[in-house]
Amino acid sequence: MNTKERVKTPRKSKLALIHQYYSYTGFYSFIGKSLKKAIVPILAVVVALVLFNEYVYSINKGLQLITTVFSDIQILVVFFISESFLGLIPPEIFIAWTKKTSNPIVNLSILASLSYIGGIVSYFIGKSILKIEKVKNYFETKLSKHLKNTSKWGGFLIAVGALLPIPFSITCMAGGMIKYPFKGVMLFGLLRFARFAIYAMAIFQMVS
């Protein structure tokens, strides 16, 4: 036969191509390293809290004291500011606080919503930074790694920031600085609610 048979190379699915891209660009490696870095401090904090609770001062009493000294509004305002500016205070502290309030589920839902909105605020802070040259140069240096990673992985990195112990505010700010589509930030940021629900299930077991 003179007709040459064509050997068809099977096309890879879109999912396979995405997986291949994230493998080549080091996304999975980055997630693994980030989790390893996060696990040690988290375990250290847990052990420290257990020892502190056992031998120094009751965490439950401390949380109860906070609820009597500060109003719910004051605590929520502090949390929102933290979540909007680089996530300075670990949200786990506030999740534990909700257990001691009169409406834990309601306050937990408010926390998750404020954290989500805080990420959006961080995104617009990132966009605004570009207009101030000195501030822009400072943050481009400070967040260079996040900017580079967000440029490569975009929404997936924001999703990881929403779910895992990677600063959500910083990730969203980097998204604003590279002008990542706002719709993507809103969509992937919704995973923040899942994180608060999962963490609450664990933390509520520790707080009576």
Residue 140 gets the label, from left (phi > 0), alpha (psi -120 to 50) or beta, of alpha
Q: What is the pLDDT of residue 13?
A: 72
Name the residue among 155, 152, 149, 162 with its Cα closest to residue 190. Answer: 162
Q: pTM for this one?
A: 0.74
Q: Give Rg (Cα) of the chain.
A: 21
Which residue type is seen at 121? V
122 and 81 Cβ atoms separated by less than 8 Å: no
User: Please, is 133 exposed, middle or buried when counting C-beta atoms within 10 Å of its C-beta (0-12, 13-18, 19+)?
Assistant: exposed
Rounded to whole angstroms, the Cα distance separating 83 from 71 reads 19
Q: What is the pLDDT of residue 79?
A: 94
Question: The tokens of 92 are what?
Answer: 């786990």
Q: What is the pLDDT of residue 29?
A: 77
Question: The tokens of 185 are what?
Answer: 């930030």
**Where exactly are the structural domains of the chain?**
35-206
**Ordered mean pLDDT values, 10 residues apiece, the chain (208 residues):** 51 70 72 68 68 71 77 93 86 89 93 96 89 77 76 79 82 87 91 93 80
Question: The tokens of 203 are what?
Answer: 């933390």
CB-based contacts of 113, cutoff 8 Å, min separation 6:
193
Rounded to whole angstroms, the Cα distance separating 51 from 149 reads 37
User: Please, is 32 exposed, middle or buried when counting C-beta atoms within 10 Å of its C-beta (0-12, 13-18, 19+)?
Assistant: exposed
